[in-house]
Amino acid sequence: MKRTAFFISDGTGITAEALGRSLLAQFEGIQFELITKPYINTPEKAEALVERINQTGEKDGARPLLIDTIVDQSIRAIISRSEAMNIDVFSTFLAPLEEELNTHSSYSVGKTHALTKAKEDVYKARIDSVHYALDNDDGARTHHYDTADIILIGVSRCGKTPTCIYMALQFGIRAANYPITEDDLLDTELPKALRPYRHKIFGLTIEPERLASIRNERRANSTYASLKQCQKEVEEVENLYRRHRIDFIDSTHYSIEEISTRIMAQAGIERRFSPR
């Protein structure tokens, strides 16, 4: 089964998309085509979008899903005329909040993601954390590990870099990563650069079959990408984790978002700010 879902807003569309994706992820048996349309902030744009939504419904043979954070009442009135199943995020959640708080909300476009003075420090922390993750990626530098919140280790291509960048961008975590090489695995001790920071280390592992598939995309038909080599490295790095009592998780079946939040929960790391 296939359905089309539109995430629309008269602002950035980030809130509508984030909530919409979370809701639709609960329906694994349905294939969704996801379309995000931000800045629907004029009657002309709204009319054009309604036409597209209706055409999509005719083509699919099923009415589209429409998740919106439209604030402007006149734009919302136009959108409501579309032949779609519509979830109006703001009216769904703000109305009961207004009743509970006994006040009216401001209903202002862009309130969630506008860079106000109060958010400038968060913005700077986000940028600084991303720079840290990039500067301390793949073991390129190790002399800044004293300021790291966490140091991810694991074999090549197991997901260390995207996980570090995600934790930096979404939570302000200063995350470094260090690749465990074949030479490192010949030694029963941790690599020298890591030894002073044992308390900050967290390991990633991955199923050998998945690792071989990922490596083949980079270096097809090489020893590096062979299943035998991947099996050997994964087995040895997991032995390293157990030998030094390093916490680790298997990244095979988790998204970057899940890997990151599981690591932070297991390592007891507090986020510096909430996701965007």
Binding residues for ADP: 154-161
Asked whether the beta carbons of 134 and 92 are under 8 A apart, the reply is no
Distance, CA of 179 to CA of 156 (rounded, Å): 6
Asked whether the beta carbons of 19 and 77 are under 8 A apart, the reply is no
Distance, CA of 213 to CA of 263 (rounded, Å): 24
Asked whether the beta carbons of 138 and 180 are under 8 A apart, the reply is no
Binding positions are 154-161
Distance, CA of 2 to CA of 270 (rounded, Å): 39
Distance of CA 194 to the CA centre of its chain: 27
Name the amino acid, one letter, at 128: D
Distance, CA of 103 to CA of 131 (rounded, Å): 42
